[in-house]
Chain A
Amino acid sequence: MSLQFLLRRLLGMVPLLLGISLLLFVIIHLAPGGPLDAYVDNPSVTKEALEQIKVAYGLDQPLPVQYLKWVKSMAQGVWGYSIRSGRPVTQEIAERLPATLLLGGTSLALSMALALPIGVVTAALRRTAWDHVLTFLSFAGISIPVFWLALMMQLLFAISLGWLPVAGYETIGAGGLTDRLAHLAMPAVVLSLATVAAWSRYLRASMVDALGQDYVRTAYAKGHSATGVLIKHALRNALLPVVTVVSMEMAGLISGAVITETVFAWPGIGRLFVESMDGRDYPVLMGLMMMGSAALVFSNLAADIVYALIDPRIRYD
């Protein structure tokens, strides 16, 4: 992998992100209503006052002008003010990021830690009882709705057993690592369950495919141990498609998880997004969606780099 390749890819992101931003801008303005609806219906807000509000937020300008102004100010690092709360967009997002990254990161790590062994075991022991049980659990994991599972876990672990707090990010005024982990446990498990199930299925299919290849038979013939063949020969080759799937999920890490955040009263990006969408808070929406898009573009690049690391046949010039 050359430095030139990296630079080329990074430069290519600029027009890509610009294109995405234009598309997002158009889409959010296509939705009915606007951020000033609350004022429009208000009998005590006069027409003149409404005009002044429009000017204050630049909403009096034609849409192309609004878009160009937004691009210009973003390029200077100015994300604007939330219409809903009157606070800087960067501050709104920055406050929600730690909780989002903590939950997303934990659930990602948990998913990988569980999906890898399950995928390998079900492939290696395919058509045994182990395979059937784990396959059944995987499908259950994919099928169970998140909100229902969350509710059941709250009933069991928080109310009946009293082991964990029902919801929230931390105990107000207490805090500490144990407290944080106790609050994190249920949302992280709920969020990772569907991912574990999906990823382990991907890996199983990919492993089964690899185990049927000539090089695996050759490796066995050369007298390698079963575990060695499984890990060194089959898994390494089977991982490539999984890297693609995981990289997609990496971007989701930063966009939050609306349902899980809502059920567990977790102060993440997902809830901020839904509230902003409900209120047509354009500056916050654009900020959040651009951040999510940038994360997706970068994680794609990261996936390409990881490909090259795993598979020496892949080279970028």
Chain B
Amino acid sequence: MLLAGALMLALAAAALAEPPADAAPPEPIRGGTLTVGLPYDIDTLNVYSTAELGDVEAAVVEGLLVPDEHARYVPALATEVPTPQNGGIQLTGGGTAMRVVYHLRPGVKWHDGVAFTSADVKFTWETVRDPRFLAESKDGSQDVTSIDTPDDLTVVVNYRAISPAFASTLFTFGILPRHLLEGHDLNHDVYNQKPVGTGPFKVSEFRRGQYVVLDRNPFYWRRDERGGSLPYIDRVIFKIIPSSNTLGALIRAGEVLLAPRIPYMLAKQLQGARNIELVSGPSLGWIHLDFGLRPESRLRDPVLRRAIAQAVNRAALVKAAGGYPQPIGSPIVPLLEALHDASPEASAPAYDPDAANQALDAAGYRRGADGYRSKDGVSLNFWITTRSGEIDGEIGEQIIMAELKAIGIRVSADNKTGIAYREARYHGDFDLLYTRWVTAADPVYSVFYGSHGPLNGQGYASAQLDAALERMETSIEPAPRRDAASEVQRILAHDLPAVPLLNMVSIAAKTRRLKNFTINPTNMTDFAGIARWYLEPPAGSVP
């Protein structure tokens, strides 16, 4: 699963999480077909193998826990979220390791009617960690030393160390059906086309490059407040629409009733369109400008990095994005209330081009006749990279290029796509990178900024930050965790390996007839909540 390495949730937050009680909503309507437009071609429907976010999978496959619309974990196939208070988390090995106990929901059945048990949970771990299984995401599978299943409804997971992030990994991604997959080669199994889960919908048809049809699971375990069966909707069709212009046209024509995570540019175009509602919700994603800190790079000069940070006007970026995203100064976004530090010392410098110009003058970067600065005969000339074809990123990049030109720095675009982009990003083959991370509720920042972070392609290394990150990411107590997070933000604001710019907002375009829809800010996608959505019949139709 995309960016899975970064997805974590604080135990403290999880401990508070209980399913929210709805206040007397209108009687939901049953039936109907929901047509969804997805912008990417689906590679596989196996949550562990796919390189995309699992929109379809979230309606089909369930984990033991699931993040809700407030990015808090709530129970799914487990009956409660394990915490130290309820005895679900126990320290072992003299306080160096831990054990997590899940109690499973009784009476849950797979789509084929076979009972779901603790053996499926253990099988999932064994399958995912098996080196022969070629998975995109194996997060968390190495942290577990063994799993005991004392009975059909109890799972005891023994961890190698204290792992506050346990809830965001394999047992949340999804559970695999042992009775269908044991002894199979999961790399080439039909499961990847037609996964069998315990979720509200089951896969009826998957046509590559075209669509996936899901039909209601009549045996779904979850009930609504009135004790009625869920889900309300009968059928969901995911259409694959690779062009965002076409997606816009399909939404206008009513051929697509819901499009999650649409580009800001498309949202701008759809504002005020008839029968269409734009729903925005917080996202844990943030957009940032990264510096490539190769040994020979001039960007290793902190004066230069600071000046660049001061030259970027976040208000202009927000405006270009239709006014949707929010400016930020720290990678720990405000939505993460337990960790976010709003003080100025924990925030990257604000927009101040005059200060940037003065600092560059003072540091000896002199302007030439052409307006561009140079020092020691070398002019300030950089490349900026973003993922080509992503309209929002390309527009933001243009704005940054213009703003840096204003302080005498020449920047040219060097955009890439697919593997070429990945290569540049993770191997530090860039000067400036305009990019984003999307995470779940409590990201592990060592993967991005730790000296040996696997996603740290910048070449940034700070022993001080490593120590602060270590404290933040191995603590399960709220107060020391918050202090460590604050120190992390201060070091990042001082060192400026990257400039945090915008907190993304997730926007979905949907028909007004779709009710109970909520944005899920995590990488588990909006479809984690699909069981409660319902469709009002079109105006003028006979019920």
Please classify the interface of chain B as helix (H, G, I), strand (E, B), loop, or mixed, using the class held by over half of its residues. loop
A159 and B192 within 8 A (CB) = no
Give residues 89-111 of A contacting B (CB, 8 Å). 92, 95-96, 99
| A42, B140: Cα distance in complex, Å | 11
Give residues 101-158 of A contacting B (CB, 8 Å). 147, 151, 154-155, 158
Q: Which residues of B contact A280 (CB under 8 A)?
A: 418-419
Question: How many residues of chain A are within 8 Å of chain B by beta carbon?
Answer: 56
Q: Which residue of B lies closest to A272 (CB)?
A: B209
A265 and B213 within 8 A (CB) = no
Q: Which residue of A lies closest to B425 (CB)?
A: A41
B209 and A96 within 8 A (CB) = yes
Give residues 99-156 of B contacting A (CB, 8 Å). 131-132, 134-142
A34 and B419 within 8 A (CB) = yes
Q: Name which of A164-172, A204-212, A304-312 contacts chain B.
A: A164-172
B454 and A42 within 8 A (CB) = yes
Give residues 44-59 of A contacting B (CB, 8 Å). 44-46, 48-49, 52-53, 56
Give residues 224-254 of A contacting B (CB, 8 Å). none
Interface-central residue, B209, B243, B420, B455, by most chain A CB under 10 Å = B209
Interface 1/0 per residue, B289-322 and A, CB below 8 Å: 0000000000000000000000000000000000
B132 and A56 within 8 A (CB) = yes
B336 within 8 A of A: no
B140 and A44 within 8 A (CB) = yes
A38 within 8 A of B: yes
Interchain CB contact (< 8 A) of A38 among B132, B136, B142, B447: B136
A277 within 8 A of B: yes
B507 within 8 A of A: no
A32 and B419 within 8 A (CB) = yes
Q: Which residues of A contact B135 (CB under 8 A)?
A: 45
Given A166-B250, A172-B237, A279-B419: A81 in contact with B255 (beta carbons within 8 A) = no
Interface residues on B, range: 35 or more
Interface-central residue, A33, A52, A147, A162, by most chain B CB under 10 Å = A33
Given A52-B131, A158-B253, A278-B419: A265 in contact with B142 (beta carbons within 8 A) = no
B361 within 8 A of A: no
Q: Which residues of B contact A169 (CB under 8 A)?
A: 210
Q: Which residues of A contact B139 (CB under 8 A)?
A: 43-44
CB distance from A144 to the nearest CB of B (A): 16
Interface 1/0 per residue, A65-105 and B, CB below 8 Å: 00000000000000001001111000010011001000000
A48 and B131 within 8 A (CB) = yes
Number of A-B residue pairs at CB separation under 8 A:
149
A33 and B5 within 8 A (CB) = no
A25 within 8 A of B: no
Q: Name which of B41-49, B434-442, B512-520, B529-537 contacts chain A.
A: B41-49
B455 and A86 within 8 A (CB) = no
Q: Which residues of A contact B246 (CB under 8 A)?
A: 151, 154, 166-167, 262-265
Interchain CB contact (< 8 A) of A41 among B250, B424, B454: B454
| A172, B455: Cα distance in complex, Å | 41
Q: Which residues of A contact B417 (CB under 8 A)?
A: 278
B455 and A41 within 8 A (CB) = yes
Interchain CB contact (< 8 A) of A265 among B192, B237, B240, B253: B240
Pairs across A and B, CB under 8 Å, 10 listed: A86-B44, A86-B187, A87-B193, A151-B246, A155-B249, A165-B255, A166-B255, A172-B213, A263-B245, A278-B417
Residues of A within 8 A of B (CB): 31-35, 37-46, 48-49, 52-53, 56, 81, 84-87, 92, 95-96, 99, 147, 151, 154-155, 158-159, 162, 165-169, 172-173, 262-265, 267-268, 271-272, 275, 277-280
